[in-house]
Structure 1
């Protein structure tokens, strides 16, 4: 394996007293790392600096933090512990691993039951914003998340309101709207609401629940017509968010970058919508049939004009937000 986090201690330092260089025991160590990650979602040794990471591996000190290991059996932890032994001569070999009770007795069922506290962690650990982040950061986020369920069609956030939280989608679909027009859909594993916590306090779009499916189907195929369940979200409140960002500023920086990118993307979409409405207004103002050019605007013209103005105001606002963040 080329990833430094999987390298055995005796490879890092061939002069270690109990190391014989590269041998089968090296692969057992790497498999122990893989097994650890499979059971909890993050590696036992992690640091942004490769040099520091190698020091941690050489010491071989790790633990099984709660809540991620709460529902993992003692047999599974025992096997991991005996595979990740710094002394290569004391490390289990392949035959001993296969004979271990967790493999030979427990069987496939041993790893199927996970505590409910794993759900949030297993969801957010897949997000790029958490790449190479201290597991303590993810643990802090997960400990603050609150489950929120929204039935089909329910409003999650409204444009213009002060944002007090962000959301991670645990199950289901939401749609993002600007002035009543859908501009995006987000699915299980996505997140939203970070703009109000990192870029501007005000929400810049409406988000509505589309729902979820109670059967195993591709979540991207779920629509308002086919949804049979609620959209389940994990909510992170502003107060908790700010506390976590003080300890782990790298996460705030990443979220702010994503938020700004979304603001810019939304600005482009709103510009396009505004342009379309301006064209509609021009078309509707032209004489048609017996209608003379001097007659007042119809009710439709008035509505279009109002919506265009509203969108233009909105566009100006988010462009100001974008410029402010640049500065």
Structure 2
């Protein structure tokens, strides 16, 4: 429990009469992010590693967005959705990594209460949005391969715009629901989060008030935004594979597998790392191990997405080459 002379750094805290150290939602001024390691010798290494990954993430995703905007050959539904996925990946990394880098550089572990809730809201928003965008992209490939003659009619610019907007507003409402539920919780005086960002599940474990409704909400939203989109992706690819196998042309089979391979790799990476984070937190009793597993989900996956697409996609490589040639 914080003594009277230590209150200044924490704001105006409200204590219970029994001195239990519990504070109201308006009392906490900041939380402490413990990060991935307490070893001072590892801090410069972690700073350099995460700064490098963040810069690669920004560069790779910005190049895909630039290629889509500048090259008319890429003005198709598939690349429209891919550019929105790249923007989402940038947003996920920007929600978590810069604050971690600042704390590593300044040797500080603090994050304001408002900043922590903002991280929860934005991370929920962009994680849900990425899940929905991957489902929309699977539907786009389903229509392109199974209904090629009607593709441009079904996936019109108007329809594509509506799908992205619907995904965004659905994710936004979900994130606001998480934000409102978290803002009603009370926390103990010194809240130390064993993570490199304000993870929703870790915050619930540290709350001093009843979190049963929050846990039910997380389970429900996790089922909706994890199970339903994944089921949609699996259904789409089962239809795609069935349609491909019915076609005797090996050339068309190769082209169809090639266009779907990059997206399927990203789907496996996103849901695989997400499932890994969930299983590690459920099996391991060490919160730090869960935080390390979250690095794959929150940092590595957004970095690898543009690399996977650029390495396997001839159209993007050609567009980037044309941009480089014009600049040179």
Q: Same fold (TM over 0.5)?
A: no
Normalising by structure 1, we get a TM-score of: 0.30
Higher helix share: 2
More strand by share: 1
- Compare CA radii of gyration and give the structure with the larger one: 1
**Higher-RCO chain (CA-CA 8 Å, sequence separation at least 6):** 2
